[in-house]
Amino acid sequence: MKPIQLEMTAFGPYKEKTTIDFASFSHQNLFLISGATGAGKTTIFDAIAYALYDDASGNSRSKDNFKSDFATDQELCQVSFIFEINGKEYKVERSPRQMGPGKRSASKQYESTVAFYHDTGVTTKIKDANQEIEALLAMSYDQFKQIVMLPQGEFKKLLESDSKDKEQIFRNIFQTDVILAFQDHLKKQVADLKKDADEASVSLKTSLRYLTDIEDAPLQDAIAIEDIDTILNRLSYLNHLFSEQLTEQEALHQHKQEKVKQLDQQMADLNHYESLKKEQIALLQQKEAFAQIKQNLVHFEKAQQCLEAKQLIEREQAKISSLKGQLSTTVENLEDLKKEANLKQVAFEKLNEQYKQLPDWRKQEKEYEKQLEAFEQVENKQAEKENLEKLIRTNQDELKQTNQLLEQLQKEKQTSQQAIQAVNDAKKAKESLEKDKQETEKQRDNSLLRLKNLEEFIKLTNQWQSESDQLIQLRKDATYSHKQLQEMRQLYYDNLAGLLASDLKVDLACPVCGSFDHPHLAETNPQAPTKEDLDRYHAENEQIQAEYARLASRVGSLLEQIKEKEDQLDIIQADCENEKTVTQLAYNQDLEKLNELNQKETSLLQQIEKLDHLNSLFDKLLEDERQCELTVTRLTTLLSNQETQVKDVSEQINQLTVSLPSTDKQETTNLLRELTRQIHRIESDYPLLQNELNRIEKETAICSTEQTSYNNQLETAIQSLNTAELAFKEKLKSANMAEDFEEHLLSEADYQRLYKEHETYDQRLKT
């Protein structure tokens, strides 16, 4: 990257537009930027770094603080940098976030901007421009600070420090902390690997000691010389040899195990034979006991057959008893049904006589209904007549109220027209007032603007006077500081010979003349400053001189602004206060007049604002008047029609009254209700009673059938009982048992137990 031109406006100590043309040094390989402390050398590098990377060259200042302290809010800070890469020129323009001139106000906030001009166009987005410039330079902001620009303070420390400090300074400048950390990491890894190797060596030696008990000469020779490969190969061979021997021993052991199993089986068979022989002797001794068990089982089976025959007799006896009970119940039910049938038949014959009269009763019912309908028609017509008369009275009242409302609306309409005319007059007065108000506002604004300019003029004058006084005092301080620095520097140089003499040693050459003989040594001046004191005086002097230059520039700038204000206001500084008083008085008078005009305007506006409401009210009055007139017409027509309807309804009532019966409506209603109840009762009871007679007839037939069936079943059951008694006697006889046969019976559990014991005995005996 080759710089071509740098342009700074209101940047750092450069208040005015400053251009540095690097192209004039194109024939030089090296050039120097020099100047006193605070003169702006570092600012040049800040401007280049800010243009390229949107940041400063060091950490001592922020990009938002680049704007010159000497610049006002009416001036904008900007940097323009032209540079060359690979024969192509590029341009960057940047402005930081700052306060600048405003259109409506004295100042406003400006955000940071950028414009990067390249061969394909212009980039104005800050993020995109930063990325494109970094890609073009092929280095990041941190790399740029390390490689291209070395901060002045770091370079001074480098020249005056020892080797250890130089190393630390180089680390800070080139930021090699990452490399140092990586180096430490590698050292730690080497130490860890060495530790692991040592531990593995100790573990290997321990393992070799365990192998000394193996009786194998080649293995022991390899262990003695720690030949690891030979040890591993010999151990593999011995392991294979031991595996083959182990397989042979396992096969021999398996053959012996099978022989032992055969002998165990023969011994088990012999023991089983001896056990069976003993069991046979024991079974023969129990033969008589099991013969008795078998006899008991035979007696049980015969007794069981007798018991079943006896139970059959008991079941037949229970069946006969049940049939007799059912037959008795059926006979009683049959007698009850006959009595109920006689009573129902008498009631049915009486109800049947009434049922035959139903046609005549229904005709009478319809006649009563017609009479009630005539009564209701008369009542409806009378109610209709009363409603019509009520409506007539209501409509007459409404017509009267509508006429009264119509008269009131006509009066309100006249009042509304007068109010609208008054508002129109107020609108004309407001137009004249607005013209007067505009002229007064213009005079007020001019007075206010001049008043603000006068206040700024006075403020600038006071500030110029204050800073001029400071400048006079600072000039004295700067002169004294410069003089003091010259005196201290002369004392320091005069004292150098004494300092060198104090460092001379015996048998060492003088660093100035080279002589080993030092007959007259120079003496040191205790009042002379040290190198550190001289540097401190020099720094203090540089700071005072820079502050004096800054304040002088500021005072000059203020004086220029005062002259501009004098030309702008066409007054001299001495007349400023009087002019401010006169202008303030004119401004106050304009405000009072505007206040009066605003009050009048407010009053007129309040009247004018009522115009829409008055127009709306007038339109509503017109509409209400029209509605009232329509209502009067409608009610007049409606009353005429209703009076005609009343006459027609009266004639209809007279015609219906002639056809009414001699009885009244309530008596006719009672007769109809009683007749209807009687008809409904007969229509309801007749089918119910008829169904009851049919039910009794069916139940009587069923009971007769059941009586016959029970008699037949009873005869059959008696015959079955006789047969069962004969069979029971035959069973006793064949079993050779008497009535006490139940003594030979066993419970089901005892029978099963004895049966299983006898069966098991037979099986064991056969075996």
CATH number at 69 reads 3.40.50.300
Whether residue 278 lies inside any domain: the answer is no
Measure the CA–CA gap between 21 and 29, rounded to whole angstroms: 15
- Helical (H) or strand (E) element with 699: helix 665-734
Sequence-separated (6 or more) residues with CB below 8 Å from residue 458: 576, 577, 580
Low-confidence ranges of the chain (pLDDT < 70): 26-29, 38, 57-62, 64, 146-176, 210, 273, 276-301, 303, 497-522, 659, 661-663, 739, 741-747, 750-752, 754-755, 757-767
Which two structure tokens, joined as six digits, stand for 73? 């809010």
Neighbours of 730 (CB within 10 A): 11
Whether residue 760 lies inside any domain: the answer is yes
pLDDT reported for residue 128: 92
**What length is written for the chain?**
767
Task: Provide the sign of the torsion angle of the four alpha carbons 298, 304, 310, 312, taken in this order.
Answer: negative
Sequence-separated (6 or more) residues with CB below 8 Å from residue 16: 9
Tell me: do 62 and 91 sit in the same domain: yes
- Closest Cα to residue 303, out of 620, 613, 747, 631? 747
Sheet holding 78-85, edge to edge: 18-21, 2-9, 78-85, 88-95, 113-118, 121-123
110 and 97 in contact (C-beta within 8 Å)? yes
Sequence-separated (6 or more) residues with CB below 8 Å from residue 391: 642
Phi, psi of 68, rounded to the nearest 5 degrees:
-65, 140
Neighbours of 433 (CB within 10 A): 15
Tell me: do 437 and 332 sit in the same domain: no
Tell me: do 408 and 498 sit in the same domain: yes
440 and 593 in contact (C-beta within 8 Å)? yes
End position of a domain, from candidates 138, 166, 188: 138
Measure the CA–CA gap between 761 and 738, rounded to whole angstroms: 32
End position of a domain, from candidates 624, 653, 686: 624
Percent helix, strand, coil in the chain, to 5, is: 80, 5, 15
Whether residue 485 lies inside any domain: the answer is yes
Which two structure tokens, joined as six digits, stand for 590? 């304009």
The predicted-structure confidence for 32-81, as pLDDT tens digits, reads as follows 777 777 677 888 888 888 899 888 766 556 676 788 888 888 889 999 99
Tell me: do 379 and 491 sit in the same domain: yes
Measure the CA–CA gap between 40 and 27, rounded to whole angstroms: 25
> Which 3 state secondary structure label does DSSP give 68?
coil
Give me the number of domains the chain comprises: 3
- Closest Cα to residue 550, out of 482, 470, 486, 483? 470
Tell me: do 425 and 514 sit in the same domain: yes
Tell me: do 602 and 741 sit in the same domain: no
Which burial class, exposed, middle or buried, applies to 326 when counting CB atoms under 10 A from its CB (0-12, 13-18, 19+)? middle
399 and 636 in contact (C-beta within 8 Å)? yes
pLDDT reported for residue 9: 92
Task: Kindly provide the b/e burial profile for residues 529-551, where b requires at least 16 CB atoms within 10 angstroms of the residue's own CB.
Answer: beeeebeebeeebbebbbebbbb
User: Taking every pair of C-alpha atoms in the chain, what is the biggest distance, in angstroms?
Assistant: 183
696 and 340 in contact (C-beta within 8 Å)? yes
Whether residue 208 lies inside any domain: the answer is no
Tell me: do 702 and 583 sit in the same domain: no
Which two structure tokens, joined as six digits, stand for 71? 């610049």
Tell me: do 403 and 307 sit in the same domain: no
Whether residue 631 lies inside any domain: the answer is no
Name the packing angle between helices 748-766 and 228-285 (round to 10°).
110
> Which 3 state secondary structure label does DSSP give 74?
coil
Q: By percentage, how much of the chain surpasses pLDDT 70?
A: 83
Task: Kindly provide the b/e burial profile for residues 131-169, where b requires at least 16 CB atoms within 10 angstroms of the residue's own CB.
Answer: ebbbebbebebeebbeeeeebeeeeebeeeeeeeeeeeb
Which CATH number characterizes residue 696's domain?
1.10.287
Whether residue 646 lies inside any domain: the answer is no
Whether residue 516 lies inside any domain: the answer is yes
End position of a domain, from candidates 138, 165, 192: 138
Measure the CA–CA gap between 325 and 86, rounded to whole angstroms: 136
> How confident is the prediction for the chain on average, in pLDDT?
79
Whether residue 431 lies inside any domain: the answer is yes
Tell me: do 705 and 737 sit in the same domain: yes
Tell me: do 331 and 387 sit in the same domain: no
Tell me: do 435 and 516 sit in the same domain: yes
pLDDT reported for residue 290: 62
Which domain range does residue 70 map to?
A: 2-138
Tell me the pairing of strands 78-85 and 88-95.
antiparallel
pLDDT reported for residue 114: 94
Tell me: do 415 and 344 sit in the same domain: no
